[in-house]
Amino acid sequence: MNSIYDCIQNIPTSRVALINATRTYTFEDILTIRQKNMTTLQGLQNTAVVINGRNRSEFALLLSLLDGVASKILFLPSDIDKALHKQYYKQVKIVFELYLENDVLKYTTVLQNKVEKNTISTTIATEWIIPTSGTTNIPKLVSHTFSSLTKSTKFNVELGGHYRWGLVFDIYRFSGIQVFLQSILSGSTLIVVDPAQSMSEMLTLLINKGCNALSATPSFWRKVLMTKESNDLKLERITLGGEIADQNVLQALKQKFKTAKITHIYASTEVGVGFSVTDGKEGFPTSYLDGKLSGIKMKVSSDGLLWIAPSEQGQKYLSPDRMYDEEGYINTGDLVEIKGDRVYFLGRDSGAINVGGNKVQPEEVEQILLSSGFLSSAYVYAKKNPMMGLLVCADVIPLNDNSDKKELKAKLLKHCREKLEGFKVPAILKFVKELKTTQSGKLERKLK
């Protein structure tokens, strides 16, 4: 199968495909919308398009219509600098911008290219152009194929009918795309929440619509665990991705959702889905480095960086930048440390804080703070200082909001000094009510 449409035709049409706060779509509805817009789709065949979905549900519907029709689909997350849009349009050679209005496919022309109308008899291999996260530099465009995006997808339609996935990731990003594809291609139901909703509103929608499978970042899961609504979630499958899954959050999820299968997944826009871990422990076994694992190879370089070689090189940069080394490995940019029979993630190499010539990984300090048992969340960042250059700072949320802050601060700093080298211990520790996250649920990491 080469497209979403090819797969949908094999799913019972009466099944619910998408649910949001105001509307429900069956798989038959998606096929009906496609047929309703067939004339327009014929005019878009083999052209490069950008989806201007104004919400996650609209974007999901547009993907279902356009995959296998357009030659390229450009994804534009809302947090991408608008100054880059023109550059990306030129790079991808975008012809049309697309959106839906009352289930009618609308478009505006970007490039004045004459497009011949064709009969859509067979689907084509559409390129999905996805920007990298660009946390520390300008996002690069990565071209994926249906094959490279679905290499870890379970196409079990019979089993898929049992699951109702919640979509809390940004669907414009790789993590959200994976949840969407796993749900729709296996005939599951996708419950789409609005990122503008409060955590309470999101969870209430998921509970009311029967969500039993949920994928989110560790930061999002920590927020979930602090709510009273989490008691009413009946989850059978839990996945974590996008950030380091530390032992504290894994253990807390196991205690809360005792019968759920918990998986943390390593994936990125460049690598695709790398591997998954289901043993309930942070990091991954060193045995993963000994040979092929689910068709991939991995190695750790002398400077502690994780390199991954996908089984197939189905993805590439649109720019001249090189993605693979001579042996087919991709530098993930993630620092790891091998301890015994386990490999632990330390953080992004590009995100290190330089303190007097010493590198500090914010994620490592966050994990130490969380291991104290006094906090629900922690965010470590750099702050400019005219005397010292950069300082290590931490914003933290206590588990007990009524705790004595002065005493708690002393305990936290003592814990850090026992576990960390002196230059890694936060110079400034601040108690906050909430930590800012991106639309994908990751901690928003910016220099303050």
Identify the DSSP state of 140.
P
| Cβ-proximal residues to 407 (8 Å cutoff; 6+ apart), any chain | none
Chain centroid offset of residue 137 CA:
18
- The Cα–Cα gap between 312 and 321 comes to 18
Q: What is the mean pLDDT of the chain?
A: 90
Tens-digit pLDDT profile for residues 93-103:
999 999 999 99
Q: Are 349 and 335 contacting, i.e. CB atoms less than 8 angstroms apart? A: yes
Structure tokens belonging to residue 407: 């005493």
Domain spanning 4-194: CATH superfamily? ANL, N-terminal domain (3.40.50.12780)
- The Cα–Cα gap between 73 and 388 comes to 46
Structure tokens belonging to residue 162: 């049992």
Q: Are 199 and 225 contacting, i.e. CB atoms less than 8 angstroms apart? A: no
Structure tokens belonging to residue 161: 């009918």
For residue 366, the number of C-alpha atoms closer than 13 Å in the C-beta half-sphere is: 28
Q: Per CATH, is 352-431 categorized as 3.30.300.30?
A: yes
Tens-digit pLDDT profile for residues 408-424:
999 999 999 999 999 99
Phi, psi values for residue 60, rounded to 5°? -60, -40
User: Is the pLDDT at 2 greater than 90, yes or no?
Assistant: no
What residue ranges do the domains of the chain occupy? 4-194, 352-431
Instruction: Tell me if residue 85 falls in helix, strand or coil.
Output: helix
pLDDT on residue 54:
82
At 253, the amino acid letter reads L
- The Cα–Cα gap between 373 and 45 comes to 56
Lowest mean per-residue pLDDT among 37-41, 246-250, 312-316, 368-372: 312-316
Look up the pTM and report it: 0.90
Q: Are 79 and 134 contacting, i.e. CB atoms less than 8 angstroms apart? A: no
Q: How confident is the model at residue 147 (pLDDT cuts 50, 70, 90)?
A: confident
At 57, the amino acid letter reads S
What residues does 265 pair with on adjacent strands?
Answer: 276
Instruction: DSSP for 225-260, please give it.
Output: HTSSGGGG---SEEEE-SS---HHHHHHHHHHSTTS
Tens-digit pLDDT profile for residues 351-402:
899 888 889 999 999 999 999 999 999 999 999 877 767 899 999 999 988 8
Lowest mean per-residue pLDDT among 174-183, 349-358, 426-435: 349-358
pLDDT on residue 310:
86
